[in-house]
Structure 1
């Protein structure tokens, strides 16, 4: 039994099960038969929604690193910090590698991924020809996806706040809510994006 050409196969991003690519009607979605992960979609507005969510994420990221994150009040002694302040707190000689890791995983890599995604799919939402190096930009965005750890950061912060709440008065700042909104929007964006369709459009334009 001969296998179909590789370009006609779609691999599930979660379980790597191979499926035959198919033409979908408007509004239809194809899911993995093994784990149910969405594989393909045929929504003309999906790319525009992904682009708008990516742009919103950039704005929220800028807000998250610009505004105060939280304030602590311990027996009348107040202390506030921001995300940048938390990174700079590790700038001593021994903590410098940790500062680089924190800045990279929660600021630099997520922003780089968003900018690469916007660069790659921006013209596609208008039906225009992709920009030069659009395929490389989208590939970069996909490679950085596992390393963008904003949601892991929020889980860690939430656990820490639960433990600190009994020892001090905690006032949550705008940056905390910006990060929380960023996590929700990232989940929505990853659910809407159809990677197979984007690769198909980029390959067709290149050909």
Structure 2
């Protein structure tokens, strides 16, 4: 990556800004597997890899299926003194759907379920034609921008981490049996991490802009 500079009367179409420190660099074509890092903070700016779009699409399909299954399958079962209770994510959210706790149920379903699924679908919509060597669909730029802006609000990973912490505290009070939905969420975290490792924002924006 060319060292940073600050143009005033130059064409800005060939520039890339570091998302962490905002230093401007002149973009260059990279071979598969090469990385371009910020000269100031070392943040990876570009990392094109062969079939990266196809990998992201495949992982998005996988994550979407896991998420849909995790909604309705049993998440965990708590047993104590001969009594047991089994619950799913959807069942827990619906338990708080009445009265003043209804916004809580809406927030749970939106941030843990709806937004991650929407981001998966939006990524598939954005990258499917690009992965097949065709021009991007209409409104692909707007769709991918939504994917980026909604990322902090999609909290499936935060949910499973918080659940693990809660289970440690509950373990001494009752017998906890983990259901298939819990393990689906654990696999989902791995799928999301793999998907994010293949996503290069600059590469995607550059591909969307090509005719």
Band the TM-score falls in, shorter-chain normalisation:
over 0.9
The CA distance in 2 between the partners of 1:156 and 1:174, in whole Å, is: 18
- Quick one: which of 97, 100, 109 aligns to 2:106? 100
* Number of the residue aligned with 2:163: 157
The CA distance in 2 between the partners of 1:16 and 1:99, in whole Å, is: 38
1:87 aligns with 2:93: yes
The CA distance in 2 between the partners of 1:99 and 1:2, in whole Å, is: 48
Q: Report the CA distance shift for 1:160/1:36 in structure 2 as closer, same or farther (over 3 A).
A: same
Size of the alignment, in residue pairs? Answer: 205
Q: Which moved more, 1:25-34 or 1:149-158?
A: 25-34
- Quick one: which of 57, 66, 74 aligns to 1:60? 66
* Number of the residue aligned with 1:77: 83
Gapped regions of structure 2 (runs ≥ 5) = none
* Number of the residue aligned with 2:199: 193
Give 1:114 deviation, angstroms.
0.9
The CA distance in 2 between the partners of 1:177 and 1:2, in whole Å, is: 49
Q: Cα deviation per residue 1:24-78 (whole Å; 9 max; x = unaligned)?
A: 1222121233443321122221111111111111111111112100000011100
8 Å CA contact 2:135, 2:210 repeated in 1: no
What secondary structure does 2:148 align onto?
helix
8 Å CA contact 2:36, 2:46 repeated in 1: yes
The CA distance in 2 between the partners of 1:195 and 1:139, in whole Å, is: 10
Scaled by the length of structure 1, what TM-score is found? Answer: 0.93
The CA distance in 1 between the partners of 2:41 and 2:199, in whole Å, is: 18
Q: Report the CA distance shift for 1:77/1:33 in structure 2 as closer, same or farther (over 3 A).
A: farther
* Number of the residue aligned with 1:49: 55
What secondary structure does 1:189 align onto?
helix
Give 1:139 deviation, angstroms.
1.2
The CA RMSD over aligned residues, in Å, is 1.6
Q: Which moved more, 1:55-64 or 1:9-18?
A: 9-18
Gapped regions of structure 1 (runs ≥ 5) = none
Q: Which moved more, 1:68-77 or 1:128-137?
A: 128-137
What secondary structure does 1:39 align onto?
strand
Give 1:88 deviation, angstroms.
0.8
Equivalent positions of 1:1-207 (< 5 A) are 3=7, 4-205=10-211
Give 1:5 deviation, angstroms.
3.2
Q: Report the CA distance shift for 1:75/1:34 in structure 2 as closer, same or farther (over 3 A).
A: farther
